[in-house]
Amino acid sequence: MSSRKDLVSLSLQELELLAGELGLEHYRARQISQWIFQKRARDIGSMTNLSKDMRMRLEAVAFISSFAPERIDSSKDGSKKYLFRTTDGFGLESVLIPETGHITLCLSTQIGCAMGCRFCHTGRDGLVRNLTAAEIVNQVRAIMEAEPFGEAMPNLVFMGMGEPLANYDITVRAIRTLLSPWGFNFSHRRITVSTAGLVPQMKRLGEDVPVNLAISLNASNDETRSRLMPVNKKYPLRDLLAAARQFPLAARKRITFEYILIKGLNDAAANARELAGLLKGIPCKINLIPFNEHPAVDFKKPDERSVRAFQKILHDLNFTAPIRHSKGSDIAAACGQLGAVLHSPQ
Ligand code: SF4
């Protein structure tokens, strides 16, 4: 393992410190960050506004990591799944999802996942390891390089492999790089972090970075939720929804609740009414996601009629509740399908 620093993982302040240690002027740190995050340089040698001597000094102590897609699978619905390989040989996946008027990138934060949600493939073998901040940021760098986005910035959702808030410090570090003017300069409106419900970290997130919050809810009562998501035994609905109510929301922002509809388990009219009761008073949107069937799990997708009936109850009670058919199911890129075969080093 190289003892040189990976420049992609450093904040501007850390780049300034490094520049100081190398005897470079303070403003050089901003030039370096521009090369990495705006011009997406892959090596220090290409930083042509630094002298050759400066580049050599920097190269002696630092490098720029990057990802090249090992495979890109394209779905017939337009979404694409990118497979990247870490230096220690693990595969990780990110998904590009075209939607009306914008593009969304779904990012991973861990190899595997320890949360054990019953409907999800990613966590099937538990957690392998956390991603580094550079590995999170490099998913964005690589896809923005590969895709003709032009001036349009994509939306970023932390909903890929792993529970982002279980890799809290690293995820927040990566988000700061994505939000900062010296980094990618994304608007905070474009970034959404999804959680299965790690209550203490939700509280911290609201204080640390001004991003949107999505909560993977999937049940209208503790009994069903604990059956689907073991995290609910530790942080039951009462605690989770109290944290959601306290989450600081900027004007016009809403919390997104993801609700995977599973036939015969959480899709009854009574569940819809119970759900409405739970979420009453929280500025929110409820994404209804009919379950994506896959062989490893016994759950079934509900029929279209019961999905519509569920939605109507929520609409009649004044909730926004779009039905989201998970994209990319033909390339195993849909919700809960990522990382199914990628957890071991080559
Ligand atoms: Fe982890 Fe998310 Fe899968 Fe749950 S749904 S096991 S939190 S990756």
Indicate whether 58 and 89 sit together in one domain: no
Indicate whether 121 and 268 sit together in one domain: yes
Percent of the chain residues topping a pLDDT of 70: 94
Q: What is the dihedral of CA 274, 123, 307, 215, to 10 degrees?
A: 50
**Spatial distance between the Cα atoms of 295 and 287, rounded to a whole number of angstroms:** 24
**Spatial distance between the Cα atoms of 216 and 331, rounded to a whole number of angstroms:** 22
**Spatial distance between the Cα atoms of 154 and 149, rounded to a whole number of angstroms:** 8
Indicate whether 248 and 189 sit together in one domain: yes
Domain membership of residue 212 (yes or no) is yes
- Give DSSP secondary structure letters for 142-193: HHHHHS--TTPPPEEEE-SSS-GGGGHHHHHHHHHHHHSTTTT---GGGEEE
What sign does the dihedral 285-290-292-296 (CA atoms) show? positive
Cα Rg of the chain, angstroms: 21
270: domain CATH number is 3.20.20.70
More confident residue, 345 or 110: 110
Q: Strands 255-261 and 284-290: what pairing?
A: parallel
pLDDT of residue 148: 80
Q: What DSSP state is assigned to residue 302?
A: P
Domain boundary among 41, 63, 85: 63
pLDDT for residue 336 is more than 70: no
Domain range for 166: 71-331
Active site residue 335: yes
Indicate whether 99 and 238 sit together in one domain: yes
pLDDT of residue 331: 62
* Protein residue with least CA distance to atom 3, ligand 1: 120
Domain membership of residue 11 (yes or no) is yes
Domain boundary among 13, 28, 63: 63
pLDDT of residue 100: 84
pLDDT level of residue 335 (50, 70, 90 thresholds): low
Q: Hey, what are 59's tokens?
A: 């190269």
Per-residue pLDDT tens digits for 158-187:
999 999 999 999 999 999 999 999 999 999
For residue 130, the SS3 value is strand
Find the 346 Cα to ligand 1 centroid distance in Å. 24
More confident residue, 122 or 91: 91
Domain boundary among 15, 32, 63: 63
pTM comes to: 0.93
Indicate whether 77 and 58 sit together in one domain: no
Percent of the chain residues topping a pLDDT of 90: 83
Size of the chain, expressed as the number of residues it contains: 346
Task: Write phi, then psi, for 117 (nearest 5 degrees).
Answer: -60, 130
pLDDT of residue 341: 39
User: How many domains, the chain?
Assistant: 2
Cα separation values, 272 from 111, 218, 253, 298, Å: 34, 11, 23, 22
The amino acid occupying position 167 is N
pLDDT of residue 91: 95
pLDDT of residue 85: 97
The mean per-residue pLDDT over the stretch 17-28 comes to 96
Domain membership of residue 344 (yes or no) is no
pLDDT level of residue 252 (50, 70, 90 thresholds): low
pLDDT of residue 151: 76
Find the 122 Cα to ligand 1 centroid distance in Å. 6
pLDDT of residue 340: 44
pLDDT for residue 156 is more than 60: yes
Query: Which position among 93, 135, 163, 258 bears the catalytic label?
Result: 93
Indicate whether 180 and 314 sit together in one domain: yes
pLDDT of residue 295: 83
34: domain CATH number is 1.10.150.530
Ligand 1 pocket test: pick from 120, 158, 229 the residue with the most ligand atoms within 8 Å of its Cβ.
120
